[in-house]
Structure 1
Amino acid sequence: MNAIQPSQPPLQPIQKRRVIARPKRHLRQRSYQVMALESTAKIAVNFLITAVAGSALVQLLPFHWSQQEKLREIHTEVKLMEGHVNSLQVEFSRNFDPQQAKSIRQEQGYRFDPSQRRVVLMNQDGRVIEQTDLLP
């Protein structure tokens, strides 16, 4: 039983398996085509999005520029109004200053203190150069 048995050739010859051409190569080529089609679709969609964004920018830029111009005009008007408001505030504070009440009444009412004397400087032609009121 444990003896080595002589090798005998097999009774039937071993048949070589036939290599059946599997469509692997065809599948690879098809997967490359699918990937190429997918990449092309992605690029086309990206170009479309870029075109839409560019179109929106082209439409928005003139609006933005007009708004900036309006903003500059408003800033200019605000500066002018600030100057006007400042002058009105100075005049308002002067009008309600008790120390200047007498001089303001004289300016607005053309009345003068009896102790004041009017000095009028005239040209040789008879035109008035300057009028001032002096206290004695």
Structure 2
Amino acid sequence: MNALQHPRPEVTQAPPSQRVIERPKRRLRQRSHHVMALETTIKIGVNLAIATAAISALTQLLPYHWSQQDKLRAIRTEVNLTQERVNNLQLELKRNFDPRQSKVLMQQQGYRFRPGQKQVVFPNNAEIE
């Protein structure tokens, strides 16, 4: 144990100067702030471009949508009128093929009357004068 030991040089650290440490941090902070500001600016720009495109598309599509709604309303009206006509024709068809209605139908479509029935004819106003 009596061996010679090399004296270890003690590393003396110089006390860190505040200027040397703060400057890199300030630069890093400034750079990160600049990067964040640039990134935020780009995000806002992209969002504005998307919003502008969406508004432009809506202004072009809304008149088309309104015209299609008008056409759809017109078609629905026609469908309702046609449905009423179909219902009336179906009732008339059932009535025409009903055997109990045959005498009434013959009287309506022809000029035949039952023996005890008298025909009433209304004259036109033009013929009276």
What is the TM-score with the length of structure 1 in the denominator?
A: 0.69
Partner of 1:89 in structure 2?
90
Distance 1:15 1:97 in 2: 119
The alpha-carbon distance between structure 1 residues 18 and 96, as it changes in their structure 2 partners (threshold 3 A), is: closer
Gap regions ≥5 residues in structure 1: 1-13, 129-136
- Give the structure with the larger helix fraction: 2
Q: Deviations over 1:15-49 (max 9, x none)?
A: 85463724221111111100000000001111011
Distance 1:52 1:45 in 2: 11
Match of 2:20 in 1: 21
SS at match of 1:119: coil
| Structure with more relative contact order (C-alpha pairs < 8 Å, separation 6 or more) | 1
TM-score, scaled to structure 2: 0.72
State the aligned residue count. Answer: 112
What percentage of residue pairs aligned between the two structures are identical?
54
Q: What residue in structure 2 maps to residue 9 of structure 1? A: none
* Runs of at least 5 residues in structure 2 that lack an aligned partner in the other structure: 1-11
Decide whether aligned partners of structure 1 residues 121 and 63 sit closer, same or farther in structure 2, where only a CA change above 3 A counts: closer
CA RMSD of aligned residues (A): 2.7
Higher share in strand: 1
Judge which range, 85-94 or 50-59, deviates more. Answer: 85-94
Match of 2:73 in 1: 72
1:34/1:111 CA distance change after superposition, 3 Å = same
SS at match of 2:20: coil
Q: 1:30 to 1:74 in 2, by over 3 A?
A: same
CA apart distance, 1:112: 4.1
State the partner residue of 1:119. 119
Whole-angstrom CA distance in 2 between matches of 1:107 and 1:61: 55
3-state SS, counterpart of residue 66 of structure 1: helix
In structure 1, the residue matched to 2:107 is: 106
